[in-house]
Amino acid sequence: MQTAILDGMTENMGVAWNQMISGYVHHGFIHEFTHTSAISACTNAGLFKHGKKVHAFILKTEENPKPEFLLSVNNALVTLYWKCGKVDEARKIFDKMLIRYLVSWNEILSAYVNLGHIVEAKSFFKEMPERNLLAWTTMIFGLAQNDSGEEGLELFDQMRIEGFEPCDSAYTGEITSCAVLGALEHGHLLHAQLVQPGHDTSLSAGNAIITMYVRCGIVEATNCVFLTMPYLD
């Protein structure tokens, strides 16, 4: 009933979530809300203290949790801690996990990249036992956004060598690297490569192309890209 009421609320969500989570934890009804949903609600509402209460409740009440339970809850906890700026605590939870799927590794990588911890991100990326397209794209974009454009270009090439076909986000990161480095020729080549798979219709890729041409002083190309974008933000 509480959750149904809250779904229709548009104001004072922080206070509402605060009261609801407190009630669940205090009365021991956390299973009605499910552990992962409760943690995710705290994450989305920025209620770190209450997320920690849920964490403490789980540690207190789940004496012999199943591996599947631990995996989903720990992944949610990792997200809670890093999105609330506690990346070291998130890493500690990850390090203690007995089971780690690729989503767990990607979450820590995203934490480092989004918080600007690019040295840790590079080290962690090398440690990953396997990498999917999301991991490659996250790392490439992170390098581009943290003044490591040359490394981003190299990683993009390595990704393709290992058989991954770049998505629009990967191209966005690569073109951003070109913008940072002023590598017009390489960026122009990437622009051409975007067209065949249809990634030129991507808003993020289009914005990256415009930024690159602007920084390289190619005004005519900038106007051309802008006028042909399917939609604007």
Residue range 66-76: mean pLDDT, rounded: 79
Do the domain assignments include residue 14?
A: no
- Taking the model in full, what pTM does it have? 0.74
Between 44 and 202, the higher pLDDT residue: 44
Do the domain assignments include residue 151?
A: yes
pLDDT given at position 219: 77
CATH number at residue 227: 1.25.40
Do the domain assignments include residue 1?
A: no
Between 15 and 172, the higher pLDDT residue: 172
Task: Write the single-letter amino acid at 228.
Answer: T
Whether the CB-CB separation of 200 and 206 falls below 8 Å is answered with yes
Interval 171-196: pLDDT, tens: 888 888 888 888 888 888 888 887 77
pLDDT at 23 over 70: no
Whether the CB-CB separation of 65 and 101 falls below 8 Å is answered with no
109: pLDDT confidence band, cut at 50, 70 and 90? very high
Q: Which residues contact 144 (CB under 8 A, 6 or more apart)?
A: 152, 173, 174, 176, 177, 180
For the chain, the domain total comes to: 1
Domain of residue 193, residue span = 131-233
Total count of residues recorded for the chain: 233
Do the domain assignments include residue 25?
A: no
Structure token pair of residue 195: 């067209």
Do the domain assignments include residue 158?
A: yes
- Percent of the chain at pLDDT exceeding 90: 33
Tell me how far apart the 2 most distant CA atoms of the chain are, in Å: 65
d(CA 216, CA 233): 22
